Structure 1
Amino acid sequence: MVSVVLIILFLGFTCEVKCFPAAVNGSTLSRQENTLLSWLQRRYHFNAAEVEATKELIEDEENDVDPKQDKIIFRLQVEEIVRKLRTMSDEEMEKIRKLFSRKMGAVRADEVFEAAEEIFESEKEANEELRQSFQLNEGEEDAFEELVEDTKDGKDVETEDMEFKLGLSELADSYDQLSPEQEERFRSLVEEEFGSEEAAMIFQEIRAIHEEMETLKGLEDLTGEEGDKNDQDGGSNDEFADDDD
């Protein structure tokens, strides 16, 4: 079985970001720019998320906003758009660039493309850093894959065995070792792969299982301490008994 975590962290992203709006209603873009978005959707098969991300890129350029400061989920979608464009022929790319230039001016079009390329490079680097920091063992990966399947099937994860729960608990420990930015990035990657609703359920189950295992561990530690104390008390009584003899 191909690791779901490996798919998320290594193989790029091919599905629509489900947390983006499906349309560009309420757009502040000009009529020409909205026509550009419609053309990208019809002629070049941009999905709703890609159209929305392109719209946000144009708005960032218009309002002099650094798009690298936008949410990770948006930057990941821009990265996917650049990947898509790079698969096109030089002729197709030239047509798209000319289309942007006609609809919003050559200078602004160049700035949008430059911003997209910068996001692509920065996201590629950040994802590689996450991959290096978040290297899971086989038990963690297997548990995550089972959790994804259980979530899709509506199965109660509490019915899974202890090996599964230990794997998820270890995964939670690994996740907690990430930096806040890397935590957000991994959550965004999971959202992109499975959708925001299912991703929320996945993280909720991971946290619940982790808390359950931590509670069990605490009880085991407490029981062990009491056992050690009883052994010590028993040893002391034996010494007193020897003295009495």
Structure 2
Amino acid sequence: MNRDPGSRRRVLVVDDEHTISDSIAARLRAEGYDVRIAGDGPHAVAECEAFRPDVVVLDVMLPGFDGLEVCRRIQASRAVPVLMLTARADETDMVIGLGVGADDYLSKPFSMRVLVARIAALLRRAERVVDAEVLVLGDVSIDLTARQVRSAGVEVHLTRTEFDLLAHLASRPRAAVARETLLEQVWGWGDGASSRTVDSHVKALRRKLGGDVIRTVHGVGYALEVPR
């Protein structure tokens, strides 16, 4: 993400509950972010195109069309970190949201301090600089500079988090990496984060690259398979 060092990071807050969206916006502006608000699905997609946010804070339940559809549409045109919010206590929204390209997840009610920390972690990951290198692992090639992945010569669209997860596993081919380590190294999360986040992204990678690319190491985590 190349940007003038003096410019402010842009955050789009999408929630139809004005009390919540106004509170989030006020806190983020106090932290130095440039913030816009959208209250429904169509408005959110339009604002993403016009505002070009660095992070989207996205509620699941929205009028027009829901946050999951918003996430699908904005990720189809440009990879942007998405933090999803939901009022439901179960993990259904999280699993579905991660499957359509969300990067992080918070249940309402949440701490503003945690929200700000999660946004900062998403931005750090998005701005991470890697050396020019292409990793070739069997039929899969990973261009770390261009952030492009090809499988059998065909380009595969990955979300930002899917790419980061694949690149991390590819940096240690065949080595088992614990879910907790992946949450810390890829997501920037500490203790208490749900391992279901990792599982959902691995499932998405297997769907896009083939079921034999990432191996489950029972009781530990995952390893990237490399043909011998």
Alignment TM-score, normalising by the size of structure 1: 0.28
| Structure with the higher strand share, 1 or 2 | 2
Alignment TM-score, normalising by the size of structure 2: 0.30
| Structure with the higher helix share, 1 or 2 | 1
